[in-house]
C-alpha cells in the first residue's frame, strides 16, 4: 500500500482484535478468530521495527508492542537468543503465540499429586507462520525454548490481559510454585498511529 507506515499490519491487527473483543465473545471464539488474525500478522515479516527484535545475550526479551486501553489484550514480541528458554510457567489468561521468525518448542506441563510440574504430551514445534494457544481451560503450563541453538527466533504473543502486569507463577523443579510478574523489556512502544504518510500520498496533486 503506497504511503502506508511499515507498522500498518500491526495497527490493522490490533484494530481487528479490539473489534473481535467488542462483541464479548467466549474463549473458543477468541481463540479461533484470534488465531486467524494472528496467522495473517505472522504470515509476513516486514513490519516489526528492529528495536523490538533485539536479543539479549543473557535472557529472552519480551517487548510490549501494544496494550489495549482497557487492558483487554496485549501484544508482545518475544525475542529468543540462541538456545534461550523460559522456566515452566502459567499465564492465567488466554494467550496466542504466532511464530514470526525462526522456530520454538512449547512443552506442556501438568502438576502431579506431589506438587511437581512434569512434561505432559509431546513438545509442539512452532515453525514460522504457525500459531498455538494456551489458557487455563485448554492447558496453561508450559516451558518454551528457541528451537535453534545458533540463531535468533521471534514469536508474537497476544494475551487476554496486560500480561506484563499479571500475577502468575513459575514452577521450579523442586515442586510448588513461585509468584511471578513478568514486566516488559522496553519502556517505549512502536508508534502505530502516525498515519500522515498514507493521507499525504492520497491528497498530493
Ligand atoms: Fe508462555
179 pairs with which residues across the strands? Answer: 169
27 pairs with which residues across the strands? Answer: none
Is 149 part of any domain? yes
CATH code for the domain of 150: 2.60.120.10
Distance (angstroms) between ligand 1 centre and the Cα of 107 equals 10
> Using CA atoms, how far apart are residues 115 and 126, in angstroms rounded to an integer?
29
> Using CA atoms, how far apart are residues 21 and 28, in angstroms rounded to an integer?
12
Residue 146 C-alpha cell reads as 528457541
Distance (angstroms) between ligand 1 centre and the Cα of 197 equals 36
Is 190 part of any domain? no
Is 198 part of any domain? no
Domain that holds residue 118: 8-185
Distance (angstroms) between ligand 1 centre and the Cα of 194 equals 31
> Using CA atoms, how far apart are residues 186 and 148, in angstroms rounded to an integer?
24
Q: Is residue 61 within 8 Å of 73, Cβ to Cβ? A: no
**How confident is the model at residue 1, as a pLDDT?**
47
Distance (angstroms) between ligand 1 centre and the Cα of 46 equals 24
In this prediction, the residues of the chain whose per-residue pLDDT falls under 50 are 1
> Total structural domains in the chain?
1
pTM of the model: 0.95
Distance (angstroms) between ligand 1 centre and the Cα of 44 equals 23
Distance (angstroms) between ligand 1 centre and the Cα of 2 equals 37
Distance (angstroms) between ligand 1 centre and the Cα of 202 equals 42
> Using CA atoms, how far apart are residues 187 and 76, in angstroms rounded to an integer?
13
Distance (angstroms) between ligand 1 centre and the Cα of 136 equals 12
162 pairs with which residues across the strands? Answer: none
Amino acid at each position: 500500500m503506497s504511503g502506508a507506515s511499515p507498522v500498518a499490519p500491526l495497527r490493522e491487527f490490533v484494530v481487528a482484535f479490539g473489534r473481535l473483543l467488542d462483541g464479548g465473545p467466549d474463549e473458543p471464539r477468541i481463540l479461533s478468530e484470534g488465531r486467524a488474525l494472528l496467522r495473517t500478522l505472522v504470515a509476513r515479516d516486514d513490519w516489526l521495527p528492529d528495536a523490538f527484535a533485539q536479543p539479549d545475550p543473557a535472557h529472552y526479551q519480551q517487548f510490549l508492542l501494544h496494550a489495549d486501553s482497557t487492558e483487554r489484550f496485549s501484544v508482545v514480541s518475544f525475542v529468543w537468543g540462541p538456545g534461550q528458554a523460559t522456566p515452566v510457567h502459567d499465564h492465567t489468561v488466554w494467550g496466542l503465540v504466532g511464530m514470526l521468525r525462526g522456530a520454538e518448542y512449547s512443552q506442556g506441563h501438568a502438576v502431579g499429586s506431589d506438587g511437581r510440574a512434569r512434561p505432559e504430551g509431546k513438545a509442539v514445534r512452532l515453525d514460522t507462520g504457525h500459531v498455538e494457544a494456551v489458557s487455563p481451560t485448554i492447558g496453561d503450563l508450559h516451558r518454551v525454548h528457541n528451537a535453534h541453538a545458533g540463531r535468533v527466533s521471534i514469536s508474537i504473543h497476544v494475551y487476554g490481559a496486560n500480561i506484563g502486569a499479571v500475577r502468575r507463577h513459575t514452577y521450579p523443579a523442586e515442586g510448588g510454585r513461585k509468584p511471578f510478574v513478568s514486566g516488559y523489556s522496553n519502556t517505549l512502544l512502536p508508534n502505530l498511529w502516525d498515519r500522515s504518510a498514507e493521507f499525504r500520498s492520497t491528497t498530493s496533486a
